[in-house]
Structure formats: structure tokens, C-alpha cells
Amino acid sequence: MCGIVGYIGKRVAIPILVDGLKKLEYRGYDSAGVAVLDCEKIVVSKSVGKLVALEEELGQSYSQSCIGIGHTRWATHGRPSQVNAHPHCDCKQDFVVVHNGIIENYLELKDMLIEKGHKFASETDTEVLAHLLEAYYEGDLEGAVRNVLKTIRGSYAMVVLRRQDPNKLVAARKDSPMVVGLGDGEFFVASDITAILNYTRKVYILDDGEMVVITEDGVKVFDFEGNPRAKEVYDVKWDAVAAEKGGYEHFMLKEIHEQPKALKDTMLGRLEDEKVVLQEVDLTLEELAQINKVYIVACGTAWHAGLVGKTLIERWAHLPVEVDIASEFRYRSPLVDDHTLVVVVSQSGETADTLAALREAKNRGARVVAVTNVVGSTVSREAHDVIFTWAGPEIAVASTKAYTTQLEGMVLLGLYLSQVKGTLPKERIAEIITALRKIPAQVQELLDQSSLIKELAESFAKVENTFFIGRSLDWAVAMEGSLKLKEISYIHAEAYAAGELKHGTLALITEATPVIALATQRDVYEKTISNVKEVKARDAKVIGLTYKGNTSMAKSVDHVIYIPETMDELSPILTVIPLQLLSYYVSVARGCDVDKPRNLAKSVTVE
């Protein structure tokens, strides 16, 4: 997730671009840059770090050009650096581009362009866009952009400026947001409304598959074939703070709602019909044959993702897996050597305990694979192989979209290992891939029922203790559900393996104790229901979660939340959604600080 902005009008562009980028910094903040057209030349300024660094770089005597584009980056392809920062140019510096998203087929395009003699400066996927424009240009910028759009695969919002077209910006979007601001004799283009709210409240919200040509005279919208599209002007009524949160009341809710896209992005370019492609992981059959044990090491929510990973890897790749809390792992002399695969999971890639565990594992000779959300993070740099989750920046302290994309990372890794080892038949892999592809839409289906969860949350607001129970993968999700509720609503919540209750905890269940029972795993369903009956017999108030079509649970609980039908192994990605929403609405109802819960920090960089 990056932020892009463009301006054309009568005012000096640079301050407007920088101001817009400041509002978009929440979308990414590892580097930034602007490009303007000055004396028939494209002038690019970039810097690493937050926007203040770019402001310092630009100083006071910047170009007075009235047309330009800007970008604030959240690294995906290529670590954060000056050279990887946008905007990116072609060989002759005729075309300059900013881009948000992922160009899935960039490697093959890059090879093709290099063969034709193009020289690349950066490691980014974006740079192929500038070189493709150079290669395709035949006297018409819009035509060249259209041809580029036909060539690339992936998700993108991009803005293009050409040196010899001093009064024109061309932009396009597919699966990444983009708006066009309509001012008085001036126009703006940006990743979201926040960036331009200081200048105009009249916008076109571009749809997927739309391309826009912006000149001083006006804005024309087309489809990718060049057919004109009529657009309605949208009058923005939100204030700037709400706009930054995309109109949501809190970052957490926004991030919960971003999950369909984050999950879609994370699988982008990694799924074929019968195969998972993990370009960043390079484990050969010979290397894997040497591995006799896997450790998954992480903290908090990431550890919960690891608990799911254990079952998937054991079930699919037939490798024994231990899951460790990072702060415990390093002090218990784990039996790790060069026959061990250590998987570290970390959203930030900077968690001190996880990093220490990674170093410990490397010192002992283990091969380390990281699953992380931040390109350029210490974890991503120090691990041997990295699976990036493409969730974009997570601002709320409580992790939501990072968790579900970590679960997806575990699915990808489990399939990858089984593929290399040949432990799953192709048909089974194909079946899992088909089910995985449906997950983003199924998450959306659950999000569309938020109002039902909100109603349930009202009854939770006054509760002080609650239990989450489940078996197998449901138990792992129960732990995540209880952590979410604890951390943002300060309600004491315990997660228990459902079969373990009767060994002590059942003593705590009294009349009206709320119990959330997860029952999505078909092989242990009957057993879980027996445990539900045990708590019901003590008059607990039970909310059950099970898959759609299973009508039997309603007979045993007070309320049922239905999860769309999927494979048991993938259900954690769905089951957690109502639990995230429940925690969110309970926290709001209790008047807690949802995005910044007391005593907590987003990234724990101390031991």
C-alpha cells in the first residue's frame, strides 16, 4: 500500500504534492518522492524515511512548475532505498510514473525489456511501467498507456507524466483506489480523498478498469479500450480526519474491512491451478530432505497464526512442527541445528524477541523463513527466505489484517512444502487453491453482516469475564479471539481447548457466563458440541460459530454465527472475522481507546 498524488493547474505543484503526501503517509512511509516538469525536463526528488526528509531534500528553492506527481512508499518489490523510491523514469527520462500496487508479471517484462536494451535503475516492479511506455510510445501518450495496461497483470493505481506533454497527466486503476479532484482550473489525482481535501471537495471516484486523462482544460474518463465513461461528481462531506480513516471511525475497523483486499493481494501471483509459486522461497527437495523438524516462532497474534501453521504443515507436508513464543524459545536451548527449519512470523519484522529468536536459530545453523508484512524490516533482511504478506501498513495496535494474511502465508508455506516434498496429490492442492481463491469474497460476506455482530456486542459490554472454546484449529482461533477482546476492551477472556475445560476451568462457568464456542472443524464437531453442552448445563450463555448449512448447532447454543462453507484448514481466516468485529464493537461500547489500547505499543522493539 503506497500513496500517490498528482497535480495540474496554475499553482506551484510541489507544496501541493507534499501536502497531499503528508495526508497519505498512513499508507506507507519508508520513502517518498516527487517529479515535476521544469524547463522541458523531468526533475525528480526522492528521499528515504518520512516526508520530513523529502521536505529537507527539496529545501526552499524548489521548482515553480505547475504540474507534477508524488508518491509515499510502502515497500513491496525492493527494499526501502533512495533508488527504489518513486517516481520512476524510463531510460531517456521522457516518462515518469508513480504506482501503488503490484505488477505480477514484472519479472518477465523486465527480462524482455532488458533484452531490448533498457537499463533499469531500481529493483521495483514499478520501473517496468516507465520502460514499457518508452517501448510502446508511438506519438500518443494515451495509446501507449492503454498498451501498457494490456501487457501488465496485477493491481495498480498509477499516474504518468511525459516530458513532451507538458499539460497532461494520465492515470489508471485496477484493484487499487484512486480519485480525481476537480478544482477551479486545477485538477488533482490521488490514492484517496484525504490528500486533496484541502483544495476541493468535488471528486470523481474512479472504478476498476478506468483510465483518466487530465489536462488544464478538464478531465476525461475512459475504459481501458478508450471508450468514454460518464462519471458522477461526488461531493465529499467528511472531515479530513475521518477521510484518513476512509470514513471509518477507527483504523481498526478500516483495517478489518481491508481484509478482502489484503488477502487478495497476498495471493497475487502466487497461485496457479495446481501449484503455489513462492518466488522468495528457494528450498530444494534435497534441502528439504535434510529437514527433520520445523519450529514456528513468533509473539502474540503472529504466534496464533503460527499455531494454525503447525497443523497445516504437519497435515500437508508431514513434517513435525513445534510452535514457540519467541521470548521463550531463545532461553530454553531449543534443539535446533542445520536439520531444522525455523519459520518466524512478524507483522512489523522488528519485534525484539522474534528477531533474537531468528538470530539464535541462525547461529545454530537453521534455515530461517520469515513471514512478514514489512519489506526492508530487520526480520526480512536477516532471514534466508521471506514470504511477504501484502496487507499494507497496519496502524491500529490490535492486529487484524496482518493476522489473516499471516494465516494465508501459513497456507502458502504449507502447500509449498508439501509440493516440494510431494506429500499431497496435485488434485488435493488444486482443491485447496480453488477454496483459497474464494476466501476474500467470503470474508466480504462476513463483513457485510457486521450489524448482527454489533447487536451481539451490546450484550457483552458489561461483562467482565468470558471464555472462548474450540478444538483443533478452532482452538488456535479462540486464542486470537480472546486476545483481541482482552487487548482492546479490557475484558478478561480465556481461550480453552474445549476438551480441557472439565479438567479445572469448568469450575468458573456460572449462570450467564458468556462462552464463545467455535465449531467449524468437522472431524471434532461432535466432541465440541459435547463440551458446549457441558457449559450450557451450568447455565452459560453460549454464542456458537459454525459453518453455513449446519443447522444442528442452533439447538445447543443461544445464538449462532454462520461462517461461509470452506475447507476446515482454511476456516480460521473466516472464523476470526466475527471475533475481530465483536471485540471492536465491545471496545467501542465500553468507551475504550480502540486504536491505542492502554499500556500497549504497535511494535515491541524491546525485550
Q: Is 117 helix (H, G, I), strand (E, B) or coil?
A: coil
Q: How far is the CB of 327 from ligand F6R (least distance, A)?
A: 11
How far apart are CB 548 and ligand F6R at their closest, in Å? Answer: 27
CB of 5 to ligand F6R, least distance (A): 28
The residues in 278-337 that bind ligand F6R, with binding defined as CB under 6 A, are 299-302
Q: Beta-strand (E) ranges in 216-254? A: 218-223, 234-235
Residues 455-494 that bind ligand F6R (CB under 6 A): 483, 487
For ligand F6R, which is the closer residue by CB, 76 or 399?
399
Distance CA 559, CA 578 (A): 13
Cα separation, 512 vs 523, in Å, equals 29
Smallest separation, CB 251 to ligand F6R (Å): 13
DSSP of 23-92: HHGGG--SEEEEEEEETTEEEEEEEESSHHHHHHHH-SS----SEEEEEEE--SSS-S-TTTSSPEE-TT
Task: Please identify, using beta-carbon distances, which residue of 303 and 562 lies nearer to ligand F6R.
Answer: 303
HSE, side-chain direction, 13 A CA sphere, residue 144: 21
In this structure, are residues 74 and 2 in contact, taking their beta carbons and an 8 Å threshold? yes
DSSP 8-state assignment for residue 270: T
User: Considering only residues 47, 126, 346, 528, which one is a binding residue for ligand F6R as defined by CB under 6 A?
Assistant: 346
Are 345 and 406 spatial neighbours (Cβ–Cβ below 8 Å)? yes
- DSSP sequence for 466-532: EEEEESTHHHHHHHHHHHHHHHHH--EEEEEEGGGGGGTGGGG--TT-EEEEEE--GGGHHHHHHHH
Whichever of 186 and 487 has its CB closer to ligand F6R, that residue is 487
Q: Which residue has the cell 532471514?
A: 383
> Under a CB-based contact definition with an 8 Å cutoff, are residues 163 and 41 in contact?
yes
Q: How far is the CB of 305 from ligand F6R (least distance, A)?
A: 8
Q: Which stretch binds ligand F6R (CB under 6 A): 94-102, 251-259, 344-352, 435-443?
A: 344-352
Q: Whole-number minimum distance, CB 241 to ligand F6R, in Å?
A: 23
Which of 347, 419 has the CB closer to ligand F6R? 347
Which of 84, 124, 348, 521: binder of ligand F6R (CB under 6 A)? 348
Pattern 585-604, ligand F6R, x by CB under 6 A: ------------------xx
Cα 183–187–189 angle (5° rounding)? 125
Residue number, 349 or 470, with CB nearest to ligand F6R:
349
Indicate the DSSP class of residue 570. G
Of positions 109, 130, 263, 398, contacts ligand F6R by CB under 6 A: 398
As measured in angstroms, the least distance from the Cβ of 444 to ligand F6R is 22
Catalytic residue among 202, 421, 596, 602: 602
By C-alpha distance, which of 594, 287, 256, 231 is closest to 403?
Answer: 256
Nearer to ligand F6R, 186 or 265 (CB): 265
Q: Nearer Cβ to ligand F6R, position 90 or 360?
A: 360
- Residue 2 known to be catalytic: yes
* Closer of 380 and 450 to ligand F6R (Cβ): 380
Q: Residue 242, class by beta-carbon neighbours within 10 Å (0-12 exposed, 13-18 middle, 19+ buried)?
A: middle
Question: To the nearest whole angstrom, how small is the minimum distance from the Cβ of residue 369 to ligand F6R?
Answer: 15
Nearer to ligand F6R, 400 or 556 (CB): 400
Q: Which stretch binds ligand F6R (CB under 6 A): 126-134, 340-348, 447-455, 575-583?
A: 340-348
Residues 6+ away with beta carbon under 8 Å from 90: 118, 130, 131, 133, 134
Q: Catalytic residue at 41?
A: no
Give the residue with the Cβ less far from ligand F6R, 31 or 399.
Answer: 399
Give residue for cell 531468528.
Answer: 358
Contacts 24+ apart (CB under 8 A), 543-546: 543/456, 543/514, 543/515, 543/516, 543/517, 544/517, 544/518, 544/519, 545/516, 545/517, 545/518, 545/519, 545/520, 545/575, 545/578, 545/579, 546/519, 546/520
How far is the CA of 575 from the CAs of 22, 251, 259, 432, 451, in angstroms?
36, 21, 13, 17, 16
Region near ligand F6R per CB under 6 A, out of 346-354, 438-446, 491-499, 577-585: 346-354
Single out the catalytic residue among 2, 66, 89, 299.
Answer: 2
**Closest CB 380 distance from ligand F6R, rounded Å:** 12
C-beta closer to ligand F6R: residue 564 or 597: 597
Q: Would you say 498 and 536 are in contact if contact means Cβ atoms under 8 Å apart?
A: no
Q: How many CB atoms lie within 10 A of CB 372?
A: 28
DSSP symbol at 341: E
| Among 72, 100, 389, 399, interactor with ligand F6R by CB under 6 A | 399
Tell the smallest beta-carbon distance from residue 394 to ligand F6R (Å).
8
Binding residue count for ligand F6R, defined by CB under 6 A: 15
Alpha helix positions (H), 227-278: 240-244, 251-257, 259-267
Binding mask 350-369 for ligand F6R (x = CB under 6 A): -x--x---------------
Query: Residue 253 and residue 594: Cα distance in Å, rounded?
Result: 9
Distance CA 562, CA 542 (A): 14
- Near ligand F6R by CB under 6 A, which window of 345-353, 426-434, 521-529, 586-594? 345-353
For the bound state, the minimum distance from the C-beta of residue 300 to ligand F6R, rounded and expressed in Å, comes to: 2
Task: Say how many C-beta atoms besides its own lie within 10 A of residue 111's C-beta.
Answer: 11
Q: Does 155 bind ligand F6R (CB under 6 A)?
A: no
For the record, the C-alpha cell of 147 comes out as 498498451
By CB under 6 A, name the binding residues for ligand F6R: 299-302, 346-348, 351, 354, 398-399, 483, 487, 603-604
The set of catalytic residues is 2, 602
